[in-house]
Amino acid sequence: MQRVSSNHIATKEEARQSQILIVDDQLSLLQSLQALLRINGYRVDLARSGSEAITKLQDHDYQLLLLDLKMPGMTGFEVLDFVRQAELNLETVVVSGDTSFASIKDSMRLGAYDFIRKPYNPEELLAAVSRALECYHRERETLTIEKSLDRSEQLHRYIVNSSPDFIYMLDAQGVFTYVNDRVENLLGYKRNELLGKHFSSIIHPHNAATSSQLFRERRAGERATRNAEMRLLVNQANECVRSFDNYELIVELNATGVYEQNGVGEKVFIGTLGSVRDISARKRTEERISFQAYHDLLTQLPNRGLFNDRLNQAFAHAKRNRQKFALLFMDLDRFKLINDTLGHVMGDLVLQRVSERILEYLRAEDTLARFGGDEFCLLLPNIPHRESVAAVAEKILKAVRQPFSINNHELYLSMSVGIAIYPDAGETEETLLRSADMAMYHVKENGKDGYCFYCKTLHSDSNFLTTERDLSHAMEKKQFQVFFQPKVDPSYHAIVGMEALLRWQHPQRGLLYPEDFLAAAESSKLMVPLGLWVLRRVCEEVVRWRKQGIPPVKVSLNVSLVQLKEADFAELFIHTLQEFKLAAKFFEVEITEQGLSKGDAEVVKQLRILRDFGISVTIDDFGRGYSSFSYLQNLPVNTIKIDRSFVREIEERCDQTCIADGIAMMAKGLKLNVVGAGVENLFQLDYLRNLGCHEVQGYLYSKAISAQETMTLLQNCPAQGPHFTLPH
């Protein structure tokens, strides 16, 4: 490991004097951080749990704590609370993959100095360590000065003037009678410019009434002002002032009323004593972390979480005011070709340029978000009529068609846009998004490079009707096949399961995948008998494996929401396994996140019956839904499968935290197993293994293969594995 250079790294003397404790339950991360810090001159201790950290904090003096939040047993939040309760003299930097706004807020509330996302950038982490230690040593220096000078009034005044805080005294009328030297650095005023002036001259008009009451505090004791946040005006004539946004300073105020006894022994208010601390740097850090939690870091656009909030606001506003709004689902045409031929770096640049061009044609109240990959979603609130939405779509398409000149490459792009208007195309978030998505795919199927409004006739176009008609004859003509894709232990490269995948050998259209016909199957109610056929076919194949002496392998089947809404689905599933004399523990059902997000009572009931019988339940394509993680706590789920689109985002030499990190952390907290889908290279495999995925599947190991090929593969597998040999 090479030493990382940075302008923020502490001096050798500061590093030598600094003892750091790193707390994380991942040994590989602990060792990596230890090596990085030691090579930069720091002394480092390690703790693999919260309880071990507390023991070391009690036995040793540390200047800095690098702390993970999510750990088994005692969490990082509990460690932070211990540090605060014990009043330990150290700074804390949180290093965590949990970047939710609530976790960041709670960390700061419990006293954390800074927050670094996993996987961390070494430069950024070293800078944060240096800043935290600098703050620690500066405060220690201040404490030392205070202890050595507090016996002398002259020296005491020196301490006050050297304080990092602006200290002031007001008389009973609110006029400054004393200010320390710090006021010039913070607000740009000389001391004599404020002495004799009323304090209101530096109070920001924003919430002036509340701020004035706090700044001129009359209460004393426990009721006095503590850590109140407010804005103060800076002296614009002083160019040297450091301020939050060049005209105001965000500060934290402590103030108390001062009283003395008069001649008859009564307490008389004589003024206010207060101190003001600059917290603009902390606010910038909080804003940076908040931005990262709600935005796509590649394009700087809102991410799915923020978009969902804006969409909920649009629903509420539209219902209240009887207005319409539009949702545009946009997907670049043949974008995969750019990634495959010119590389992902070029692909990222294209996505950035495309987002910039689209933004040029939007209003301030519109919201453009990136959903991942080359998918964008646009919210247009309060639209006057359909034609205005069409005009926006045409402008966007025209902008995207203009050539892109990037790194000496001239690229010609196009985009497919699906449009859904509330309430015509749906009155719920899920329905509206599905309608826009369906309209977008209609554009794809009809030549791409255009837009389409959702309408009910999309359900009955010729292709859809043809598919429905052919489906009705496909089973009796034995055109369906069951393929299997291995699920593999990423540590030992051994097969631990198989996912059954349906294929349709269409006489004219060739081999079709589920996305080509499942919508028609669900619409025509053929999904229920088709699903039962798949189950029986899988059972027949498992029995064949058993007769060949192949050890038992767990098999998962994809189940449609239509099937689960059948009152006897679970009963038929269990009866079929009993008919073939197969153990429930070797079977698993997978349902997409969208199918579970609304918590349909019948669906939950059927899944609970299956799980109580011993059949595992997995959420497939996790992360592509539009619902909150909280619904998982109330569902009978054993496993979540990270959607392949998020696995594709895992790239070597990428400093950004992947969505997969957050999903894995959340699953760990809910004690759920994690499966990674769509693994295509060794870097993705190592990354998912380190995240704690106990199973993976993807083209790195094997694509989905026919039943006969699957049996041959299982027959040739050694008993203990490994079952696959990967390239180095």
Domain ranges of the chain: 12-149, 163-285, 295-460, 463-716
Q: Is the pLDDT of residue 356 over 90?
A: yes
Q: Look up the CATH architecture of domain 163-285.
A: 2-Layer Sandwich (3.30)
Q: Is the peptide bond before 381 cis (omega within 30 degrees of 0)?
A: no
Least confident of 94-98, 361-365, 633-637: 633-637
pLDDT at 656: 54
pLDDT digit string, tens, across residues 245-284:
557 888 899 999 999 888 788 889 999 999 998 888 888 8
- Is pLDDT larger for residue 403 or for residue 630? 403
* Residues sharing a CB contact under 8 Å with residue 214, sequence separation 6 or more, in sequence order: 225, 228, 230, 253, 255
pLDDT digit string, tens, across residues 73-83:
899 999 999 99
The phi, psi pair for 97, rounded to 5°, reads: -90, -10
Alpha carbon 277 to chain centroid distance?
32
- Is pLDDT larger for residue 502 or for residue 152? 502
Q: What is the DSSP letter of 61?
A: -
Q: Is the pLDDT of residue 712 over 50?
A: yes
Q: Look up the CATH architecture of domain 463-716.
A: Alpha-Beta Barrel (3.20)
Q: Is the pLDDT of residue 425 over 70?
A: yes
The CA angle 160-163-167, to the nearest 5 degrees, is 60
pLDDT at 246: 56
Tokens representing 111 are 């006293």
pLDDT at 653: 57
pLDDT at 430: 83
Q: Is the pLDDT of residue 360 over 90?
A: yes
At residue 78, the 3 state secondary structure works out as helix
Q: Is the pLDDT of residue 7 over 50?
A: no
pLDDT at 147: 65
Residue identified by tokens 């940076």 is 288
Among 495, 514, 609, 632, which Cα is nearest to 553's?
495
Is residue 324 exposed (0-12), middle (13-18) or buried (19+ Cβ within 10 Å)?
middle
Give the bridge partners for 22, in sequence order. 46, 66
Q: Give me the CATH topology for the region 295-460.
A: Alpha-Beta Plaits (3.30.70)
Q: Is residue 326 within 8 Å of residue 419, measured between CB atoms?
A: yes
Give the bridge partners for 46, in sequence order. 22
Q: Give me the CATH topology for the region 12-149.
A: Rossmann fold (3.40.50)
Q: Is residue 54 within 8 Å of residue 66, measured between CB atoms?
A: no
Least confident of 40-44, 163-167, 419-423, 546-550: 163-167
State the average pLDDT for the chain: 84
Distance CA 253, CA 231 (A): 10
Whole-Å CA distances, 494 to 590, 644, 647, 728: 21, 21, 20, 17
Distance CA 109, CA 89 (A): 17
Query: pLDDT-based confidence at 458, cuts 50/70/90?
Result: low
Query: pLDDT-based confidence at 182, cuts 50/70/90?
Result: confident
- Is pLDDT larger for residue 417 or for residue 460? 417
Q: How many CB atoms lie within 10 A of CB 723?
A: 20
- Across the range 218-239, mean pLDDT stands at 85
Q: Is the pLDDT of residue 233 over 70?
A: yes
pLDDT at 596: 67
pLDDT at 704: 92
pLDDT at 465: 58
Q: Is residue 440 within 8 Å of residue 330, measured between CB atoms?
A: yes
pLDDT digit string, tens, across residues 318-331:
988 889 999 999 99
- Across the range 51-61, mean pLDDT stands at 91
Give the bridge partners for 411, in sequence order. 404
* Residues sharing a CB contact under 8 Å with residue 414, sequence separation 6 or more, in sequence order: 332, 333, 334, 397, 400, 401, 448, 449
Is residue 542 exposed (0-12), middle (13-18) or buried (19+ Cβ within 10 Å)?
buried
Q: Can you say whether the dihedral through the CA atoms of 117, 119, 125, 129 is positive or negative?
A: positive
Distance CA 416, CA 404 (A): 17
